[in-house]
Amino acid sequence: MADFYLKSRLTMGTNKPPDNSNVQKKFDMSIENLYRRNRRFAGEIRTLIHKYVERLVKIHGKDFKFKFMNFCGTHEWTTVHYGIRSLLPENIELVAGPGCPVCITPSFLVEHAIKLSFEDVRVYTFGDAFRLPSVKPVEGAKSLAEAKASGGNVAVVYSFLDALKESNDYLKDSVFLAIGFETTAPGYAIPMINSLIPRNMYLLPALRLTPPAAEYAIMEAKKRSMSSINGIIAPGHVSAITGAKPWDELSRKLEIPTVISGFEPLDLLLSILELLKMILKNEVGVKVEYRRVVSWNGNVESLNAINTCFEVVDSPWRGIGFIDKSGLEVKDTYSNYDAFKAFSLDKPNRTSWSDDSLSGCKCTEVILGLAKPIECRFFLKVCNPSKPLGPCMVSSEGTCSIWARFGGYLSLKS
């Protein structure tokens, strides 16, 4: 058996002579495929993961579970779509944390947007937020899609740039429902500080920050005395903007090893291996697996732009409530772009905040990684991707939507 294993290692590889002509061109085309279709190497990494778990089990006991949490919808997508969970030993559990900006956009912002769309203000939005339901209906409409169907002025765009171009020609007042995490924020900040936004365009900011939510989710699991998180798989594209530094601080504060991971299947496997290695060595702090994109200091120009026109405030998250220093709001110096001021929309504070989750819907628990979608009694019964009830089923990045579309949940049930 051992011989067979060793032999299989020695006979791998096709030993093709490298074709040095056109290397650069080939390189461009295959750089992602190196991490996406590298099956044989993924097999090797899988073997390594199993070996590391064997070693850890000797120390911690046979029943020890390693719980790793990711904080990006795309990580969950990769995990489910490529079946990463089925490759891992039973001792490793991958959990999806708060990582979808659409799922956590509070209902009151959607209600404001619907109301404005009926008042002849054009509301621009990303495709994901178009179907995001509000809790209370506004003039009969419970989402921007329904508002558009009943005559509201709503336009779906791929990017903020497209909305800028359109509203330049539109001339009447328009509002952009600016949802997103740190990654999307420079897209609003850079046009703002460079005066690229036309005078008739306002922002309805729903920008949120990931590290505070990560901390909240982990503390919440502790509070409810559930098994604690042993490792953090940090979002690669958020870190491209913020840099690895905030994750290092968080990791040292919570004493949980953290790896910033890319989004291809091999990236995730390598990150899990790195986390196991860190646990074995009792290390905390951050390691960057996604070094081809993420640096220690992040994207400094973008961070400067964000700091110039946004300030960090305590913000409400859907179903969760206020989290300290977890949102971005337009600074007073740039208030002429702020839709809250321009249309005198009201903002809830900690005392006036009321829970905006649907009763019976487990979206809040799913977002925080406290429950799996299959534990919700609506999942794939009355709530499915074509007719979503809760916010997690709306966005292509929502955990429920990913599980419903790519399956695998039945085998996970046992």
Partner 1 sequence: MCWGVPAKVLKVEGFKAYVDFGGGVKREALVAVSDLKDGDYVIVHAGIVISKVDREEALKVLEAYMDMAVQQAREDGLNEEEVKQYYKALKSEVFGDIGYE
* Gap between the Cα atoms of 103 and 80, Å rounded: 18
Residue placing its CB nearer to partner 1 in the complex, 31 or 219: 31
Closest approach, Cβ 160 to partner 1, in A, equals: 6
| CA–CA distances in Å: residue 44 to residues 31, 240, 266, 270, 278 | 19, 28, 11, 11, 19
How do strand 174-180 and strand 201-208 relate by DSSP bridges? parallel
Answer yes or no whether residue 312 interacts with partner 1 by CB under 8 A.
no
Residues 100-129 that bind partner 1 (CB under 8 A): 100-102, 126-129
How do strand 122-126 and strand 154-157 relate by DSSP bridges? parallel
**CB-based contact 106:356 (threshold 8 Å):** yes
Q: Which member of 72, 155, 229, 367 binds partner 1 (CB under 8 A)?
A: 72
Residue placing its CB nearer to partner 1 in the complex, 5 or 346: 5
Closest approach, Cβ 240 to partner 1, in A, equals: 4
Q: What x-and-dash track marks residues 209-238 binding partner 1 by CB under 8 A? A: ---------------------------xx-
Answer yes or no whether residue 137 interacts with partner 1 by CB under 8 A.
no
Closest approach, Cβ 112 to partner 1, in A, equals: 19
Point out which span in 35-43, 244-252, 317-325, 377-385 binds partner 1 (CB under 8 A).
35-43
Answer yes or no whether residue 2 interacts with partner 1 by CB under 8 A.
yes
Q: Would you tell me the crossing angle of helices 265-280 and 73-81 to the nearest 10 degrees?
A: 100
Cβ-Cβ contacts under 8 Å for 352 (sequence gap 6 or more): none
Residues 381-410 that bind partner 1 (CB under 8 A): 395-397
Q: Which member of 79, 91, 167, 184 binds partner 1 (CB under 8 A)?
A: 184
Residue placing its CB nearer to partner 1 in the complex, 161 or 313: 161
Q: Is 224 helix (H, G, I), strand (E, B) or coil?
A: coil
Answer yes or no whether residue 318 interacts with partner 1 by CB under 8 A.
no
- DSSP per-residue codes, 73-109: HHHHHHHHHTTHHHHS-TTEEEEE-S--TTTTS-HHH
Phi, psi of 361 (to 5 degrees): -85, 135
Residues 257-296 that bind partner 1 (CB under 8 A): 263, 270, 273, 289, 291-294
CB atoms within 10 A of CB 210: 25
Q: Which member of 69, 80, 190, 221 binds partner 1 (CB under 8 A)?
A: 190
- DSSP per-residue codes, 9-49: HHT----PPP--TTHHHHHHHHHHHHHHS-HHHHHHHHHHH
Point out which span in 5-13, 104-112, 212-220, 278-286 binds partner 1 (CB under 8 A).
5-13
Q: Which member of 59, 90, 158, 223 binds partner 1 (CB under 8 A)?
A: 158
Residue placing its CB nearer to partner 1 in the complex, 41 or 170: 41
* Gap between the Cα atoms of 73 and 235, Å rounded: 9
Answer yes or no whether residue 186 interacts with partner 1 by CB under 8 A.
yes
Residue 63: enclosing H or E segment and its boundaries? none
Point out which span in 113-121, 298-306, 357-365, 370-378 binds partner 1 (CB under 8 A).
298-306
Closest approach, Cβ 83 to partner 1, in A, equals: 20
